[in-house]
Chains A and B, each alone.
Chain A
Amino acid sequence: MTTAQSILTILAVVLGTMTTRFLPFLIFPEGKEPPRYITYLGTVLPYAVIGLLVVYCLKDAFGGGHFALPELTAILFIVGLHKWKKNTLLSIGGGTIIYMFLVQTIFR
């Protein structure tokens, strides 16, 4: 990707993000009630999108040389650690370190 293409990509992301933030205020100026369908999507989409993003992160793992073994091991570790300590930052940091260890030593 050239620098210009990178900047365009970032601009597209900015535009997409800002659309989601400004749209409700533009279509529902003070006092107008949003339709039920939109509020419904607003309540369920956040849950579904995180599922989508987890799959997005793992999209190339299954086709790789190790059948996603390091990824799945690290994810199991995160689930266990998070159930135990319930500390978001610890789970993210710990999981990343375990994964880095796995791909740098066992699954080279």
Chain B
Amino acid sequence: MKTKAFKAALPYTIPICIGFLFLGMSYGFLMRSKGFSFVYPMFMSLFIFAGSMEFVTVELLLSAFHPLHAFFLALMVNARHLFYGISMLEKYKNTGWKKTYLIYGMCDESFTVNCTVTPPPDVDRGWFMLFVTLLNQMYWVAGATMGALLGYVIHFDTTGIEFVMTALFVVMFINQWEESKDHRPALTGLGCSLLCLLVFGSQSFILPAMALIILCFSIGRRYHKKKETP
């Protein structure tokens, strides 16, 4: 049963493997270039296992100690998981002990595969989803650790390498922009953040920006509802 599920899951994770190794390695290499031991990216990729937030955490670790800020930032950056979770309530049903790990390892890529792929009828669904999630996490942790280890061996001028995080988010922004017709959510995020950056300055704009974004969406939704119901 397990072998069958593994064989069914593996092909779906190969493209993710390439992406995760590349991004994971740049993340590990970045951490090493900032002076962290390889233990940091290894454990962070294992326990946080949310790519964007791990990049952001590098920045957090290099600034002043503020755990509450880190907690709220993680909540906000990963808020999309709430949505994934709501979509997976049905699919993760009746998977027994596997359910805890499936939820723990629910990154964007594992969610996408588990949400859209229906395994062949003779394959156990729970094991299929478990292998998808597990393989993806293994690629990511391996990439991050290898990247950091590479940082011990390869030495070059790494000035500016932290831009890999900006590049990642810019590309994600373009991808999201092109796949959705309604650009208001993206513009709300960009606009509120820029406004708060101007008003509160670079050290303390994140929390007000998050609050403003949620406020805008709440008002916008109420306005929509009024328009819809005559």
Q: How far is the CA of A51 from the CA of B77 in the complex (A)?
A: 11
* A21-B74 in contact given A9-B67, A49-B79, A50-B186 (Cβ < 8 Å): no
- Closest partner residue, chain A, to B210 (CB atom): A52
Q: Is the interface of A mostly helix, strand, loop or mixed?
A: helix
B85 near A21 with CB under 8 A, answer yes
B104 near A34 with CB under 8 A, answer no
Give the residues from 33 to 48 in chain B that come closer than 8 angstroms, CB to CB, to chain A. Answer: 40, 43-44, 47-48
Of A11, A49, A58, which contacts B80 at CB under 8 A? A49
B209 adjacent to chain A (CB < 8 Å): yes
Please encode chain A, from 74 to 108, with 1 for each CB lying within 8 Å of some chain B CB and 0 for all others: 11001100110000110111011001101110000
- Closest partner residue, chain A, to B75 (CB atom): A16
Q: How far is the CA of A16 from the CA of B179 in the complex (A)?
A: 28
B189 adjacent to chain A (CB < 8 Å): yes
B98 adjacent to chain A (CB < 8 Å): no
Q: How far is the CA of A10 from the CA of B104 in the complex (A)?
A: 16
B159 near A104 with CB under 8 A, answer yes
B193 near A51 with CB under 8 A, answer yes
Q: Which of B6-14, B135-143, B163-171 contacts A (4 or more CB under 8 A)?
A: B163-171
B106 near A21 with CB under 8 A, answer yes
B152 adjacent to chain A (CB < 8 Å): no
* A78-B171 in contact given A54-B166, A96-B163 (Cβ < 8 Å): yes
Interface residue tally for chain A (C-beta within 8 Å): 69
Chain A proximity of B154: nearest CB distance (Å): 14
Q: How far is the CA of A45 from the CA of B76 in the complex (A)?
A: 8
Write out the residue numbers on chain B whose beta carbons fall within 8 Å of the beta carbon of A40: 217, 221
B149 adjacent to chain A (CB < 8 Å): no
Q: How far is the CA of A31 from the CA of B101 in the complex (A)?
A: 20
Q: How far is the CA of A34 from the CA of B83 in the complex (A)?
A: 10
Q: How far is the CA of A43 from the CA of B49 in the complex (A)?
A: 22
A residues adjacent to B (C-beta < 8 A): 1, 5-6, 8-25, 28, 30, 34, 37-60, 63, 70-71, 74-75, 78-79, 82-83, 88-89, 91-93, 95-96, 99-100, 102-104
Besides A22-B104, A25-B103, A42-B83, 5 more A-B contacts (Cβ < 8 Å) are A21-B103, A22-B103, A38-B82, A52-B189, A88-B19
- Pull 10 A–B residue pairs with CB atoms less than 8 Å apart, ordered by A: A5-B65, A9-B67, A19-B75, A37-B218, A42-B83, A44-B217, A48-B217, A55-B193, A55-B194, A93-B22
